[in-house]
Amino acid sequence: MTNLVRLAVVLFRGSGTGITAGSGRRRKRSQLGNILLFLFLGIYMVGIMSASSAGLYSLLAANGLQDLMIGLYLSMGTVLVFLFGILYVISVFYFTGDIEKLLPLPLQADEIIGAKLAVTAAWEYLYLAVLVLPPLVVFGILSQAGAGYFLFLAGVFLLLPVVPLCLASMLVMLIMRFTPLARNKDRFNMVSGILAMLLALGFVFGTQSMARFDEMDLAQIISAGSASIAKLTTTVFPGTSFAVGALTAPDALQQLAQLGLLLLIASAAVLVTFRMARLLYFKGVVGVGASAARRRRLSSAELSKAGQGGSAFWTYWLKDVRILIRTPVFFMNNVLMNFLWPVFFVLPMLTSAGGSGGSGALIELARGALADPDGRGAALSLVICFVIACFISGTNGISESALSREGETFYIMKIIPMSWWRQIMAKVTAGLLFSLAGTLLPLVLAVAFLRPPAWLALGWLAVLPGGILMPNLGGFFFELFWPKLHWEHEQKAVKQNLNVLYGMALALLLAALLAGPAVALGLSAAGTALLVGLGSLVVAAAEIVILRRILPGRFAAIEP
């Protein structure tokens, strides 16, 4: 146990985002700046989540359905922890650089896993604190709940991530131990990542179809209370229903009982995970990072294919895309992340709504609001679409780490006969591709479920180009100043790289600067599309001009 704690402390120090980088006086100053940056990002997200949940509250309260919120946000939180958990666990348990140093030490598997779990949990709490806690606090305030509610909320907050995180760990350890994937690393990262996503989708849709079994109408739902909904949405993750119960049960004693059950099930999950770690971890982790060599001669077809000339730009682009997809850390953090947010935001919404009357009512409300060309709903949906595009493009960290990902191979950028500008554009284009894919996914889901009129769907498409270009171009900017080229492990290039955070902050700031006025001025749908769609393209053009101007000087100054 003491080993576990010691190890956790060491790992935690090494897992920061580099907030404490630098030295001397500069270090103090940059530290302050970074803390401010974190605060900005945190407050920004808390603000968005609080405002949107307050909106949802009034919408639901009008129909007496406000208790649904608790089940909704707790199941969102659970899904969030589970999905991030899968990604984190794969990379933290199996693909970080420290593993090769830890394995020879006299440590038990469960000590390593425990320490790594603690580090992962810390990140999960951070996400929950920003994304899920604010709506629940808003609920408490708006429903004028007493101090008891907030006390139980604290308990629920602490216990909520334990079960989904443990489930994620067990799932990953099983996959790594027993599938051929673990032996053939070539395909592993893609397959397991996608598998995890599909699994999560399966869970969510599974619960949804369960919900279809008891077709209840609106009145029944209200009378049955939120508990029945919560049970439906949370069957998959034992514990979440207790979490809901701890917040919604009619009296304190029952709430306490529910919290106790949650504690019990969380402890059981931890114990089982540790036991499983002893059985599975070492056998799964050995040999990770090796790559299968087949040693065979090139067929003449392959040779003639390789001999075929292609455009330098697209070859360069393809090289970047390949590296993004084939490097597990990049794949988890930069590629899958694009598709994870949509799953997290959209699906729980649809499920907790899905099939049964509650959701039906919500979707009907939304459809009505969108159909009116002069109504606020259509204009707001354009803003939301734009912000989602900015958010996904700004948080995937692809353009934001375009140079850092090169690491020791950066010098190649300097010696090949391709202009720096074209190389950079090829890299940004890789970012554009994944941002576009990530943005289209929730858009398609929204079109499928909300069935907006055609003119509105076209409007959503119209705000995308700027919403994707602006953050990708802006995000790259910081790489020209502080590229992180010296790393032993890929993790440092994308996760512990402040440029990613700076890029994210810039993207969110620019999005707010364009979207804010559109909302504040109460513009019509057409006006909104014009302001955010065209405005972001103008910003993107300005970014191109600035980048072109500073590129030669900055690039020459980067000396690997």
Partner 1 sequence: MIQMRKVSKSYGGAVKAVDSIDLDVRRGEIFGFLGPNGAGKTTSIKMITGILTPDSGDILVNGRDIRKEALAVKRSFGFVPDDPNIFPRLKAIEYLRFMGDIYQVPTDRRRERIQELTERFSLDEALTDRIQSYSHGMRQKLMIIGALLHDPELWILDEPMTGLDPKSAFVLKEMMRTQADSGKTVFFSTHVLDVAEKICDRVAVIDRGRILFCGSIGDMQRQFRQDGSLETMFLELVNHSETAGDPA
Angle between helices 464-476 and 535-557 (to 10 degrees): 20
The answer to whether 448 contacts partner 1 (rule: CB under 8 A) is no
Using CB under 8 A, pick the residue from 20, 408, 546, 548 that binds partner 1: 408
Residue of 144, 294, 488, 520 interacting with partner 1 (CB under 8 A): 294
Nearest-angstrom CA–CA distance, 52 and 401 = 31
Binding track over 136-175 against partner 1, x by CB under 8 A: ----------------------------------------
Taking alpha carbons only, the member of 115, 122, 130 closest to residue 8 is 115
CB closer to partner 1, 126 vs 290: 290
409 contacts partner 1 (rule: CB under 8 A): yes
Q: By CB under 8 A, name the one of 240, 327, 491, 536 that touches partner 1.
A: 327
- Write down the least CB distance from residue 375 to partner 1, Å: 50
Among 147, 448, 520, 557, binds partner 1 (CB under 8 A): 557
Asked if residue 311 binds partner 1 (CB under 8 A), the reply is: yes
Closest approach of Cβ 467 to partner 1, in Å?
30
Interaction of residue 559 with partner 1, rule CB under 8 A: yes
Looking at beta carbons only, is 326 or 451 nearer to partner 1?
Answer: 326
In whole angstroms, how close is the CB of 302 to partner 1 at the nearest point? 7
Dihedral of CA 441/37/124/512: which sign?
A: negative
By the 10 Å C-beta count (0-12 exposed, 13-18 middle, 19+ buried), 35 is classed as exposed
Which of 144, 308, 448, 520 is the binder for partner 1 (CB under 8 A)?
A: 308
Q: Which of 183, 322, 486, 549 touches partner 1 by CB under 8 A?
A: 322
CA distance 167 to 273: 8
Site stretch for partner 1 (CB under 8 A), options 285-293, 356-364, 459-467, 476-484: 285-293
Q: Considering Cα of 230, then 234, then 235, then 237, what sign does the dihedral take?
A: negative
| Binds partner 1 (CB under 8 A): choice among 104, 106, 146, 417 | 417
Closest CA to 246 of 235, 233, 256, 232: 256
Question: 476-494: string of b/e by CB count within 10 Å (b at 16+)?
Answer: bbbbbebbbbebebbbbbb
Nearer to partner 1, 293 or 454 (CB): 293
- Is 364 among the residues that bind partner 1 (CB under 8 A)? no
Task: Tokens for 240, please give them.
Answer: 């979440």
Residue 228, token pair as written in the block: 């029945």
Query: Least distance to partner 1 from the beta carbon of 420, Å?
Result: 9
String of DSSP letters for 112-158: HHHHHHHHHHHHHHHHHHHHTHHHHHHHHHHTT--HHHHHHHHHHHH
- How far is 325 from 317, CA to CA, in rounded Å? 12
**Least CB distance to partner 1 at residue 311 (A):** 7
Interatomic CA distance for residues 244 and 9, integer angstroms: 32
Q: Which residue type is seen at 336?
A: L
| Token pair recorded at residue 369 | 């609001």
User: What is the distance in angstroms between the CA of the first residue and the CA of the last residue of the chain?
Assistant: 43
- Asked if residue 184 binds partner 1 (CB under 8 A), the reply is no
Distance of alpha carbon 478 from alpha carbon 399, whole angstroms: 10
Options 304, 513, 542, 550; binder of partner 1; rule CB under 8 A: 304
The residue range among 57-65, 204-212, 320-328, 515-523 that interacts with partner 1, by the rule CB under 8 A, is 320-328
Give yes or no for residue 315 binding partner 1 (CB under 8 A): yes
Task: Please check whether residue 394 is in contact with residue 511, taking contact to mean a CB–CB distance below 8 angstroms.
Answer: yes
Distance CA 473, CA 429 (A): 10
User: Of these, 302, 364, 372, 374, which contacts partner 1 (CB under 8 A)?
Assistant: 302
Q: Which is nearer to partner 1, 374 or 408 (CB)?
A: 408
Site for partner 1 in 185-204 (CB under 8 A): 186
Q: What is the closest distance, in whole angstroms, from the C-beta atom of residue 85 to partner 1 in the complex?
A: 25
How many Å apart are CA 557 and CA 45, to the nearest integer?
36
Q: Which of 412, 444, 458, 542 binds partner 1 (CB under 8 A)?
A: 412
DSSP 92: I
Residues in contact with partner 1 by CB under 8 A are: 186, 290-298, 302-304, 306-312, 315-316, 319, 322-323, 326-327, 408-409, 411-412, 414-419, 556-557, 559-560
